[in-house]
Structure 1
């Protein structure tokens, strides 16, 4: 499969790209506290350049140093130029083209600091009564000059192009959108006044870069979930003005962090693949500008069709290249089956980015993300036979890594198929891609020549027969069986059996447990039941979901009219009702079927451990077999163990 359109060159001013694929600006938490490029960032980018990407953009790079938070890149002072040049040089040496995204964060910086926050109008500080004052005319002029100065530094640092970030309710977008801009001076009110700040920034950038250097601009197609937000018609009108001011390329995104529309910025699996392409297509048609499509583009066939049909000129493949840095090379070579696809889980990229305890972003599908140098696969000098108990994603990750290092892994899976809980999770609404990924991972293991035994539980006899040098225990978890009177009644089942098709529920259904699995089971059953009530002991449902997936799941729960009861404890299950305790009182919820979804516990592996210890066989327990957690943790542990053997 050739994907000729996707891998055709494109020339923009004086810059020629070898293909139409852009690695976009994505936050990593890899910069230093004082905002410098690190070797980690360089390794991260070079890996994608070597993987065949056409154009790599830095993550957001602050143009105004006082308003750029710690651990973000800055280009707000000459002192940053040498390290930025190291990055651009490394990208060039690897055969790629480099772009830098020029950024002023506006309200976004309030999450990191309480000073130098540039907003168009008086804005309440998150969760406080404090008001952030509107930027003065002097501050606006200072920021405009900062964009120009930053562009000049970008040239000195050797970048091939620059991108002006005018989206995602950062400062430029906030000035443009009437949802945020309530000014009454020359920078607010009319459309002409609202675009003034952005046009001045564009002109400042353009006047400080060479004539043959392209200027990209990231925009949102329109505002979502905002009263009086900007329309696509206004966006198109602004883009035509920006074109006259010197912008060459439109990077058409969507979303804002002030509402549920943040889900469009890092779209989870719940959103359709390519959900924003139609907006890029319309903007391209009505501006005549080179346009980039963005939004869950994770498949080369999909990307090629976008270019081939003229919907856009280029595509952003961001998380697709986080999941597989070799995405471009594999697609160009037609090796599509071996592309490790992003599944939109958001666990490693977005959830880790906003988690203060996570040092930097990672990826469920690629544990080497952010560890490119230290996680290079090193061939073993002593090949070992390694028995892996469990063919879920953790077991498969370990097996594939071991095989590529020169070991001889043997996977024994108790069930009839590979993929484990990850494949089961793919039965939930909108999560088919997880099931597809689990199946693809199993097929990849087979192509690697890994011996796989299905319907085979690992017992002392199996270990004795295989006689391994080491053992990895990756047998996962199983549903918790609650100690609730009535939980053994015939109309009571569990979430795993529902999703696997081994059980059904009908009539009035009560789901015990309002975490991720409970809510997904409720959604799964919503079309075939009379009513569904979810009972949760905690003060809110969906506490174990990441922010963006939670938005999507809760929207669906609301749309399906699924009732949720929080601070409610199930104390008994009867033939026709579930008894709960809420606010110190007992209540009965009529029910025809009950689904238990209160979590999972590790499967017992005592017999394997005891046999290994008795026979001095080194063994490793990973993933949910240690304790039930996210797939991200399980795969990370598998990768680490497989590199240590």
Structure 2
């Protein structure tokens, strides 16, 4: 498919862009501890520029070291010492005919005192964010005036370094947004009160940047078109804001939505459809003449093209899509959409970042590690030697992919009729279509590299020996844990794997699902359509490994479906029409009616298979659940890294 709108040239101010693809700001944690652009973050951004992105907007970039820390290892423009490395960043992006803006950011009340060395966080008014839970100190009028100058200084540093423009982050409930919104601004000085006073802070920043950087230096402002909180900004308010910002001379508006208190609207989990908020940007665009950039939870190039055709926006923001695949643009442009790894909406990237670590991506094991694991670092010494990969799940497919790029003759054995392994189970619950697409994408990548795939083939030692392989990679997955408890051998006991795979069909049953992890909860959602379902979990909460918004939305759906959640209880035994449990804290025995039991308490490694192959072959490596049970991303990352050095 040709994407004529997507790959047409665009303009922001006097700056011409080669296409309509924008990578919006996303915090990474890849910068140095002093806020300079590290080799890792430069390579990270360069890969996206090389991959076909027209404009890259850096992560939230700090303008204030005292109260403006938004995350660890955050890119900064607080000092002249940051210029040298920003020059290298700009040069790396420019050599691929892409442009770069620095996003000027201050978190205000949406940060933690621990990131400020214990100092109290600050905001326009002393109103705590319900997510953060810390009451901020109200900035004085003089401090507001000084903060404006810090934004301007950041812009000057960026321009001096050869950066093409700046974006003021006035969205997502951060400091500038806090001044604009009546929900967070209760001030009585010149920075609070009526519309124009609430707009004064951002107005002074824009006017200061114009004065210091000149009329031709592009300025974009990112806004939340709807805060989705009672008493906050609505679309009617932000249309007025957008028109006002245009009137004072900005060059583009970047439309997003939400704040921390309506978080899932900012960073959507898999259950939110593509383009669900397009009316926000479309309304803003209809009311201004300057270009509109907009994020819309875009996964597929055809959706991006359609949004441009519908005049929803002038530029499409592809955020997590660029985390999942840095070649998003080029694969769309050159007809390789089948090999485009799409974001699956699992939210693992932000879950990792919230824990204080650099971001990771479930489907892209190279993110932030391109500098030492990129294609140019591969040792291509396969020389056509045979390597057997046993198991066609995510780990096996990733290992085969890397080994084939290294020049090995890879033969992948899969006992089932199709590739995917556990992904063929993980894609069965609702809103998991992107998991199915991941299987298809990884299969297409193997086909493009001429990997030999033998489906419906049990990989025995005798079969593998016939290949005379240089080595063997075991990606055979794990096996469901069946606890040694009374009643486990009853015919009314099944595994979640059997249920999700369709081997067991349950209807009009009273089901107890043992295990409140991701698999247990998703199995409950599947079964709740035709059965009465309860989830039994020994810990005090269910879905602990899920990102908060994913967990909240899943639990909401389970509640609406009538699923009962029982925490703090462990299974003791299974009877014909009931299960016996023990209260975790007291060991008190209790029971409940259940004519069917579904086990979802995890998997264990297939140590016996690993031992068998290690005895038969000199060079054997195991990856994924065959080695250590984990998530999809764990299997892909481990397989990638082991295949890199195999």
Smaller-chain TM-score bracket: over 0.9
Task: Confirm or deny: 8 A CA contact 1:602 1:625 kept in the other structure.
Answer: yes
2:90 is aligned to 88
**Displacement of 1:584 after TM fit?**
4.1
2: CA distance, partners of 1:179 / 1:542: 32
Three-state SS of the structure 1 residue aligned to 2:466 is helix
The 8 Å contact of residues 390 and 459 in structure 2, kept in 1 or not, is answered as yes
Would the aligned equivalents of 1:65 and 1:75 in 2 still touch at CA under 8 Å? no
Q: 1:411-436: per-residue Cα shift (whole Å, max 9, x none)?
A: 11122221011231111111111122
Contact 1:66 1:116 in 2 (8 A): no
In structure 1, how many angstroms separate the alpha carbons of the residues matched to 2:180 and 2:627?
51
User: What secondary structure sits across from 2:529 in the alignment?
Assistant: helix
CA–CA distance in structure 2, aligned partners of residues 59 and 128 of structure 1: 21
Counterpart secondary structure, 1:115 = coil
Residue pair 2:610, 2:626 contacting (<8 A) in 1 also? no
Aligned to 1:503: 504
**For residues 192 and 508 of structure 1, what CA distance do their matches in structure 2 show?**
60
Does the 8 A contact of 2:610 with 2:622 survive in 1?
no
Shift of 1:446: 2.7
In the TM superposition, what are the counterparts of 1:75-114 in structure 2 within 5 Å?
75-110=77-112, 112-113=115-116, 114=118
State the shift of 1:109 in Å. Answer: 3.1
* Structure 1 residue aligned with 2:294: 293
Q: Distance in 1 between the 2:606 and 2:267 partners? A: 34
Aligned residue in 1 for 2:413? 412
The 1:130–1:462 alpha-carbon spacing in structure 2 relative to 1, beyond 3 Å, is closer
Deviates more, 1:194-203 or 1:516-525: 194-203
Q: How does 1:382-421 map to 2 (within 5 A)?
A: 382-421=383-422
CA distance in 1, matches of 2:493, 2:210: 67
Q: Given the superposition, is the C-alpha separation of residues 546 and 513 from structure 1 closer, same or farther in structure 2, using an over 3 Å criterion?
A: same
- Residue 558 of structure 1: CA displacement? 2.7
Report the number of matched residues: 636
Whether 2:141 is the aligned partner of 1:137: answer yes
Q: Distance in 2 between matches of 1:516 and 1:588?
A: 24
Q: TM-score, normalised by structure 1?
A: 0.94
Which residue does the alignment assign to 2:543? 542
Cα deviation, 1:28-51, whole Å, max 9, x if unaligned, reads 111111111111111111111111
- The CA distance in 2 between the partners of 1:332 and 1:640, in whole Å, is 29
* Distance apart, 1:535 and its partner CA: 0.8
* 1:592 match: 595
Residue from 355, 365, 370 that aligns with 2:368:
370
Paired position in structure 1 for 2:284: 283
Q: In structure 2, do the counterparts of structure 1 residues 392 and 195 end up closer, same or farther at CA, with 3 Å as the change threshold?
A: same
TM-score (norm. length: structure 2) = 0.94
Distance in 1 separating the partners of 2:165 and 2:133: 41
Distance 1:129 1:397, change over 3 A: closer
1:216 is paired with a residue whose SS is strand
SS of 1:578's partner is: strand
Q: Compute the displacement of 1:213 (Å).
A: 2.3
Q: Which residue pairs with 1:72 in the alignment? A: 74
Tell me how far 1:129 sits from its aligned partner: 9.0
Give 1:638 shift: 0.9
Give me the whole-angstrom Cα distance separating, in 2, the residues matched to 1:146 and 1:125: 24
- The answer to whether the 8 Å contact 1:63/1:76 transfers is yes
> For residues 126 and 311 of structure 1, do their structure 2 counterparts lie closer, same or farther at Cα, with a shift above 3 Å needed?
closer
Q: Which residue of 2 aligns with 1:562?
A: 563
Deviation at 1:608, TM superposition (A): 5.0
Mean Cα displacement is larger for which, 447-456 or 10-19? 447-456
Equivalent residues of 2:226, 2:233 under 8 A apart: yes
- Alignment partner of 1:515 is 2:512: no
Provide the residue aligned with 1:202 in structure 2. Answer: 206
Using the TM superposition, name which of 532-541 and 270-279 deviates more: 270-279
For the Cα contact (< 8 Å) 1:469–1:618, is it kept in 2? yes
Shift of 1:515: 0.7
Whole-angstrom distance in 1 between the partners of 2:132 and 2:5: 51
Which is worse superposed, 375-384 or 518-527? Answer: 375-384
Give the 3 Å change call, closer, same or farther, for CA 183–221 of structure 1 in structure 2: same
Q: Distance in 1 between matches of 2:472 and 2:567?
A: 43
Query: What is the match of residue 44 of structure 1?
Result: 44
Describe the superposition over 1:344-392 as per-residue Cα deviations: whole angstroms up to 9, x where unpaired: 2222x21221223x4x222222212112122233322643211111000
Name the CA shift for 1:41/1:130 in 2 (closer, same or farther; >3 Å).
closer
Q: Deviations over 1:55-87 (max 9, x none)?
A: 111111112232233511111222222221221
Task: Point out the more displaced range, 476-485 or 465-474.
Answer: 476-485
Q: Tell me how far apart the structure 2 counterparts of residues 281 and 592 of structure 1 sit (CA, whole Å).
A: 52
Tell me what 1:220 maps to. Answer: 224
Match of 1:148 in 2: 152
